Structure 1
Amino acid sequence: MAKTKKANRLLDESSPYLLQHAYNPVDWYPWGEDALNRAKQEDKPILVSIGYAACHWCHVMEHQSFESEKIAEVMNQHFVCIKVDREERPDVDAVYMDALQAMGLQGGWPLNVFLNPDAKPFYGGTYFPPQQWLTLLRNIATAFTQNRQELDTSAEQFAEHLNRSELEVYGLKQHELQVQEEELKQMYYTFSSRFDKKHGGLSPAPKFPMPSNYLWLLRYIHHSQNEQALKHLHLTLQQMAYGGINDQVGGGFARYSVDEEWLVPHFEKMLYDNGQLVSLYAEAYQATRETLYHDVVYETIAFVERELKSPEGGFYSSLDADSEGEEGKFYTFTKNELHQLFGSEEPLFSKYYHATAAGNFEHGRNILYRRISDEAFAEENELELEVLQDMVQNWKERIMEVRSTRVRPALDDKILCSWNALMLKGLADAYYTFGNKHFLKLAIQNAEFILKNLCKDGRLYHSYKNGKASIDAFLEDYALLTSALIRLYEVTFEEKWLQKAKELTVYTLNNFFDEAEGLFYFTDKSSQKLIARKKEIIDNVIPSSNSVMAINLHLLGQYFDEQQYEELSDSMLAKVNELIIKEPSHLSNWAILYYYKLAHPTEIAIVGPEAPEMRAELSSFYLPNVILAGTQDISDLPLLEHRVAIQGKTTVYVCQDKTCKFPVHTAAEALEQVRGKQESEKFPAL
């Protein structure tokens, strides 16, 4: 008779990742005082194991080691074991990931770090095979008993390193902000040195989408008219859209590609990637009118709505890479399966999606991907374009029917404030570009959900699950939600969104700001204290929370005529200016702010009964450095004060550098004023 599994303390948690470990024989604790106090009382080392629900190697290590009675016995005897969902506790993850890198080790997940009873790290690593893990556990248990002083000394040194200022770590000093055309060009040349000119993106593999890199590149192209930059942008967006990293049938992007061709994805799909990629492709369409970009936006939003939207209007976090214990099984097909499904059409299907008898993935399976446009494929195969497109649509529907019978990848159904904010902004950007009212409806539903369920008494919470908000919000929650609400105001002209953005900024300044260094901490001053209070300045797969705040302050300073916001934004940018020039691909969101400061934003204020329609007309054009405000009546917003609809007709006021043009009544006239009739302000043609 099979032995009944006994639950551990993780059974009471809401995180799907922690719940996956709830029946491990390991005596897991969630991160918190209970575990930390026990370590001190029993004078035991702590093992912190950090991962997330969609992480393939996290699952592998669980099955191989954490489900093993033999290994669990050693872990339980010698350690206080803590399991952390990095998506719930990015603060804990950031501290111990930094520690691992300080040890000279490569970071990644699963992240396994050994701490002394004071929670200070002395050793760590990522994935370990079971026998190696067991040996390591025993060695560390012995060292903790026999060489305690050495381990404690090492832990103190790592703790000191973790408490160094980020500005000190990167050798940055305060300067007066002086934005220069030559520096912007230098950023581009440094960035372009890493271009993969064959497949797009940046070399080498693995390749992450990194949307903020290409949002910056869009602005640089608009500013410089650099045609080589435009070619690389299009190559990158096209190859990502055609590659296996983009689900060719169901829409939505995987987290990254393991190869340089964007072909083989790590199959997990994350909300934060898809929200940002909607923004990127929507903006790229607005600039270029490339049909492929339109299709990507619509297909990605359809995926998110179908598979990640909660009934309440929030968006879930991710889909797992694995199903039935196999990575990518849900999405891939053997040639035989395709033949059974499509019969005589299978050869054409396989040519279109590059499926082969041997398979282009593991176990003879095929990842579906494209290489050329429908127009080129139709011509190459002597088909009418409309006939091909009808066939492709039919193929997709039949593949989706087959998928509906398969075991689905696990869903991480926690709802994170920061990631929802990225999706909210993506939807607002898509509505701004395409005018699709369904996108706006989804955006407003999501904004209302966040403010109802993740905002209490003026404070935000990071996570929501089963009707309950938990975990004090981090700077990324405040920063990204503020950014999304500013954008929602711009596409609706409903001032409640802008006012809420300012309220959140005031809270952030009062509770996260470090007066001494002039940057924001990642954690609220009232949150649980860790061994280090970190600041985030490097832009990663999600832009750094400090760079997002600096842009927010820049925009809100304009909307509310708050000079101190503008000055703080300048000061923050000045601190990292040297680093942006050296490493633009790692500070691309900061580089966007640099462009804003250099190019000087244009204020467009629309007043009158047809303000929304006028905004919609202007949104047909790519205007990346515009502060947009409007009202159908009158408004106390400083940007709209004393501005009226002249003779009752909708009126547009265009101003730059505190100097205003003559009021006009058409979008075309306003556009001329914004562009100053300079051809160089137009986006170059593809």
Structure 2
Amino acid sequence: MTGNKKANRLIHESSPYLLQHAHNPVDWYPWGEEALQKAKQEDKPILVSIGYAACHWCHVMEREAFEQKSIAELMNSHFVCIKVDREERPDVDAVYMDAISAMALQGGWPLNVFLTPEAKPFYGGTYFPPKQWKELLGSIAEAYTSHRQELDESAEQFADHLNQNELAKYGLQQKNYHVREDDFKLIGHNLSRNFDKKNGGLGSAPKFPMPVNYLFLLRYHHHSSDQTILNHINLTLRKMAYGGIYDQVGGGFARYSVDEEWLVPHFEKMLYDNAQLVSLYAEAYQATRESLYHDVVYQTIAFLERELMSGEGGFYSSLDADSEGEEGRFYTFTKDELQELLGDEEPLFSKYYHATVTGNFEHGRNILYRRIPDEKFAKENELEQDVLEEMVTTWKEKLMEVRAHRVRPALDDKVLTSWNALMLKGLADAYLVFGNKHFLELALQNARFILANMKKGDKLYHTYKAGKASVDGFLDDYAFLTRALLRLYEVTFEEQWLLEAKRLTDYTLENFFDETEGLFFYTDKTGEQLIARKKEILDNVVPSSNSVMATNLHLLGLYFDEDRYTSLSDDMLASVKELLLKEPSHMGNWASLYFHKLTPTAEVVIVGPEAPEMRAELTSFYTPNIILAGATAEDKTDIPLLEHRTAINGKTTVYVCYNRTCQLPVHTAAEALKQMQGAEPQPKFPSL
């Protein structure tokens, strides 16, 4: 009990989001057999309400509706009410979000869907104001009694839609595996049509970072030398790093910007965004040597370690947007607060970060953002750049001290395998580019945590909290962890990570693969069966699990000389190629795979006592279509790519191979890079 509020069944759950609703007067059930059986026994419709801990409008609807006794009585009388954390049960969320789409309704969270007792959907929506919500509850309850047959027929139709062939859903009827320069250029052209050439990003507000699209564009520019593409990448990454979407004081990115200029964020900070943005900014630095990107990576990792990392080595899921009942209060400052804190330096600070007397946000508060590089600001204000940089560092320290004494946004402290795998890859990517050993230490700590706590036998579990792993792993858990372990192998040359990646892939092939359609289901065949078994094809704020699996199979096929892996990857790409050409903004990770297959992937093997140093020298250059294997000694190996590779005359030796054919072994990074550049065609597309 909290005060005089009686707890409902959610009090026994571990999800922070479900626990937030544990003292609602609504008789909430968690998703599970108890609630589904109750609906059947009492012949009641089911209300499934789906959200997540950092969701602002989920909190609003809870305050306005689910905490109100009169509304709760209506819900309890007519429905079996189920609360779902979409991050804990993305399979349930995917099914009913697809249903909302089939109803031609706008999706989003909170997601509220009405089901028959058989869990088949017949109506739904997102946020409803309290008056409208009460009216809807009454209408649904009356319709369920008076028009039951029509509702059941409608629900059957939606259930049929949910179970239709995934490729047919997108009109993908035939496989077309021809990887061509013209099609690659078409992918870039169609993606570029959505560029915001003034503010960066794709399309208009709201704007999401969408790292997968920019990782592809980096590869597109590498292949084509199209300066227009590089200009857009730099415009976008600078605007995001200067904008309010980036925490100028503490580092790390908010989930999205509500405006076109990246200035006003929706303040929740998600692990999956920041993990991928570490990868993106690290790779962008490798390609451009832009110092701003270096700073963003270091500051974002510092934020993640400080505020989202557990003592065990896992990373928590998110920080809420709200604190003290206001969105963004933790991160914003009034002019008076700044004057009291900074004294004579406040005017310069406010000029640097665009703070005003009236505030540029709600309640007279200021979101801190920048417009121009330090070099330009210093010149305009007659300062030496190093003096300005020292002042900025001091300002940040003072503001961080103030924030340390504020009421913090709520922390969602569950650990998700899929999001931790994105973070693991981000740390390994950062180490690959910058060589900072602390990044590698964090990555190794995280990898060991995941495998020790979230894997039992051959199976992964999706979520972990308070010493307990639960919920069978989904395809993205396996796919993202496999991809992260492949990268971890490349930066350590420790075979255990590569062999673990292969084991995970073989498990997914056995338990997730659909031989009929040639793609992977999102759920394990050994787990709970919902009314539909979905497949995830479209890349979104995170890459789709199928696109990551297709990439993993491509890479593992090279490491293990496994034709089955390679042909499956080819077939998966062929299945979606038509959609990739038409809608690349929803297929960014597939587009990167297309790049990897367009020209042969370089298989680079480094053997000898200085293999790590040679790897570091090679990876100081941007060579995105490459896999790395290596060893410091010529020990027995289970990796075919390493077999028969020796350190000639005891000297560290590099083998550059393409399509199972190797060039002459060399002993310097410069020679190896020359071989790679000579083997990879470099078409020069005209600017798009």
- TM interval, short-chain normalised: over 0.9
CA spacing shift, 1:636–1:525, aligned 2, 3 Å: closer
Which residues of 2 match residues 127-206 of structure 1 at below 5 A? Answer: 127-206=127-206
Q: CA deviation at 1:204?
A: 1.2
Q: Is the Cα contact below 8 Å between 2:611 and 2:632 reproduced in 1? A: yes
| Structure 1 segment 285-304 matched on structure 2, within 5 A | 285-304=285-304
1:663 equivalent among 662, 665, 672: 665
Counterparts of residues 232-251 of structure 1 (less than 5 Å): 232-251=232-251
- Whether the aligned pair in 1 keeps the contact of 2:224 and 2:684 (CA below 8 Å) is no
User: Aligned partners of 2:11, 2:46: CA distance in 1, in Å?
Assistant: 20
* Shift in alpha-carbon separation, 1:513–1:678, aligned structure 2, 3 A: closer
Aligned to 1:41: 41
State the Cα deviation string for residues 164-215 of structure 1 (Å, max 9, x = none): 1110100102324100000011111111111000000011110000000000
- Going from structure 1 to structure 2, the CA distance change for 1:620 and 1:201 (only over 3 Å counts) comes to same
1:551 aligned residue: 551
Give the structure-1-normalised TM-score: 0.98
Sort the Cα spacing of 1:305 and 1:527 in 2 relative to 1 into closer, same or farther, 3 A.
Answer: same
1:222–1:681 CA contact under 8 A, matched in 2: no
Following superposition, the deviation at residue 343 of structure 1 comes to 1.2
1:303-323 CA-partner distances (Å, limit 9, x unpaired): 000000000000000000000
Aligned to 2:404: 404
Quick check: 1:314 aligned with 2:294?
Answer: no
5 Å matches for 1:250-329? 250-329=250-329
Residue 651 of structure 2 aligns with which residue? Answer: 649
Matches within 5 A, 1:429-440: 429-440=429-440
Distance 1:467 1:278 in 2: 28
Structure 2 partner of 1:579: 579
Counterpart in the other structure of 2:599: 599
Once residues 680 and 170 of structure 1 are traced to their aligned partners in structure 2, the CA distance between those partners, rounded to angstroms, is 33
Matched-pair contact (CA < 8 Å) for 1:287–1:683: no
Give the match for residue 512 of structure 2.
512
SS in 1 for 2:378: helix
Whole-Å Cα distance in 2 between the matches of residues 422 and 658 of structure 1? 30
**Superposition RMSD on alpha carbons, in Å?**
1.3
CA distance in 2, matches of 1:554, 1:139: 52
What SS does the aligned partner of 2:358 have? coil
Task: Note if contact 2:25-2:67 (Cα within 8 Å) is conserved in structure 1.
Answer: yes
1:638 corresponds to? 640
The answer (yes or no) to whether the contact 2:599–2:681 under 8 Å persists in 1 is no
Which deviations, in whole Å up to 9, do the C-alpha atoms of 1:68-100 show, x marking residues without a partner?
Answer: 111000000100000000000000000000001
Whether the 8 Å CA contact 2:600–2:680 is kept in 1: the answer is: no
Distance 2:21 2:422 in 1: 29
Q: Distance in 2 between matches of 1:169 and 1:682?
A: 36
Deviations 1:105-158 (A, max 9, x none): 111000000001010001000000111111111111111011111111110111
SS at match of 1:664: coil
Q: For 2:520 and 2:94, how far apart are their aligned partners in 1?
A: 15
Residue type of the partner of 1:250?
G
Equivalent pair of 1:489/1:498 in contact (CA under 8 Å): yes
Q: Is the 8 A contact 1:316 1:413 kept in 2?
A: yes
Distance in 2 (CA, whole Å) between partners of 1:26 and 1:3 is 16
Corresponding residue of 1:4: 4
- CA shift, 1:29, in A, is 0.2
Shift of 1:659: 2.1
Contact kept, 8 Å, 2:374 with 2:385, in 1: the verdict is yes
User: Alpha-carbon deviations, 1:633-661, whole Å to 9, x = none?
Assistant: 22341101011000000100001122211
Give the 3 Å change call, closer, same or farther, for CA 69–678 of structure 1 in structure 2.
closer
User: Where in structure 2 are the equivalents of 1:329-348 lying within 5 Å?
Assistant: 329-348=329-348
Cα distance, 1:449–1:337 mapped onto 2, change above 3 Å? same
User: Does the 8 Å CA contact 2:205/2:257 hold for their aligned counterparts?
Assistant: yes
1:304-361 CA-partner distances (Å, limit 9, x unpaired): 0000000000000000000011100000111111111111111100000001111111
CA–CA separation in structure 2 for the residues paired with 1:683 and 1:497:
38
Deviates more, 1:215-224 or 1:330-339: 330-339
CA contact (8 A) 1:607 1:632 kept: yes
Change (3 A) 1:678 1:25: closer
Classify the secondary structure of the residue corresponding to 1:177. coil
Q: Which residue pairs with 2:444 in the alignment? A: 444
Deviation at 1:678, TM superposition (A): 8.1
Structure-1 separation of matches of 2:685 and 2:240: 22
Equivalent AA in structure 2 for residue 209 of structure 1? P
Q: Which runs of 5+ in 1 are unaligned?
A: none
**Aligned residues of 1:675 and 1:681 also touching (Cα < 8 A):** no
CA distance in 2, matches of 1:100, 1:577: 26
Please state whether the residue corresponding to 2:449 is helix, strand or coil: helix
- SS in structure 2 at match of 1:676: helix
Q: Is the 8 A contact 1:222 1:683 kept in 2?
A: no
CA distance in 2, matches of 1:529, 1:257: 37
> For the Cα contact (< 8 Å) 1:622–1:683, is it kept in 2?
no
Distance 1:678 1:415, change over 3 A: closer
Provide the residue aligned with 1:622 in structure 2: 622
SS in 1 for 2:207: coil
- One-letter amino acid of the structure 2 residue matched with residue 598 of structure 1: L
Using the alignment, how far apart are the partners of 1:425 and 1:317 within structure 2?
16
Q: Which amino acid aligns with 2:498?
A: L
Contact 1:38/1:80 (CA < 8 Å) preserved in 2?
yes
- State the one-letter code of the partner of 1:386: D
Partner of 1:24: 24
User: Do 2:275 and 2:422's aligned partners in 1 also have CA atoms closer than 8 Å?
Assistant: yes
- Counterpart residue type for residue 300 of structure 2: T
**Cα distance in 2 between the residues matched to 1:558 and 1:681:** 24
Q: CA deviation at 1:673?
A: 0.7
Moved more, 651-660 or 148-157: 651-660
**1:183, 1:173 → 2: CA distance?**
19
Greater displacement, 176-185 / 392-401 = 176-185
Q: Which moved more, 1:85-94 or 1:653-662?
A: 653-662
SS in 1 for 2:10: helix
- Per the alignment, residue 428 of structure 2 pairs with 428
CA contact (8 A) 2:120 2:159 kept: yes
User: Structure 1 residues 606, 61: CA separation in 2 closer, same or farther (over 3 Å shift)?
Assistant: same
Q: Secondary structure at the match of 2:82?
A: strand
Asked whether the equivalents of residues 221 and 683 of structure 1 are also in contact (C-alpha less than 8 Å), the reply is no
Report whether the alignment pairs 1:497 with 2:497.
yes
**One-letter identity of the residue aligned with 1:482:** T
Counting only pairs closer than 5 Å after superposition, residues 336-485 of structure 1 correspond to structure 2 as 336-485=336-485
Q: Deviations over 1:212-245 (max 9, x none)?
A: 0000000000000000000000000000000000
Counterpart residue type for residue 672 of structure 2: A
Instruction: Tell me, in whole angstroms, the C-alpha distance in 2 between the residues paired with 1:6 and 1:315.
Output: 32
Q: Deviations over 1:469-505 (max 9, x none)?
A: 0000000000000000000000000000000000000
Which SS does the other structure have where 2:616 is aligned? helix
Secondary structure, counterpart of 1:498 in structure 2: helix
1:14 is displaced (CA, Å) by 0.3
Q: Is 1:251–1:303's contact at 8 Å kept on the other side of the alignment?
A: yes
1:166 to 1:374, Cα distance in 2 relative to 1, 3 A? same
1:71 aligns with 2:71: yes
